[in-house]
Amino acid sequence: MTSMTMIEAIRDAHMVAMERDDTVVVFGEDVGYFGGVFRCTQGLQERFGDHRCFDTPISEAGIVGAAVGMAAYGLRPCVEIQFADYMYPAYDQIVSEAARLRHRSAGDFTAPLVIRMPTGGGIFGGQTHSQSPEALFTHVAGLKTVVVSNPYDAKGLLIAAIEDDDPVIFLEPKRVYNGPFDGHPDRPIVPWSKHPLGEVPEGHYRIEVGTARLHREGSDLTVLTYGTMVHVAEAAAEEHGLDAEIIDLRTLVPLDVDTIVASVTKTGRCLVMHEATLTSGFGAELAATVQERCMFHLEAPIIRVCGWDTPYPHAHEWSYFPGPARVGYAMRELMDA
Whole-number Å distance between alpha carbons of 232 and 322:
8
CA distance readout (Å), 252 to 165, 189, 291, 327: 18, 29, 17, 21
Cα torsion at 158, 162, 164, 170 (round to 10°)? 50
For residue 209, what is the enclosing H or E element?
none
Task: Give the residue from 276, 285, 230, 227 showing the smallest Cα distance to 253.
Answer: 285
C-alpha radius of gyration, the chain, whole number: 19
Residues in the chain: 337
Whole-number Å distance between alpha carbons of 138 and 185:
36
User: From the CB of residue 242, how many other CB atoms can be counted at a distance below 10 Å?
Assistant: 18
Given 14, 129, 215, 231, the catalytic residue:
129
For residue 225, what is the enclosing H or E element?
strand 221-225
Note if 129 is an active site residue: yes
Whole-number Å distance between alpha carbons of 217 and 274:
19
User: From the CB of residue 86, how many other CB atoms can be counted at a distance below 10 Å?
Assistant: 18
Q: Is 315 exposed, middle or buried (0-12, 13-18, 19+ CB in 10 A)?
A: exposed
Whole-number Å distance between alpha carbons of 311 and 305:
17
Enzyme catalytic residues: 129
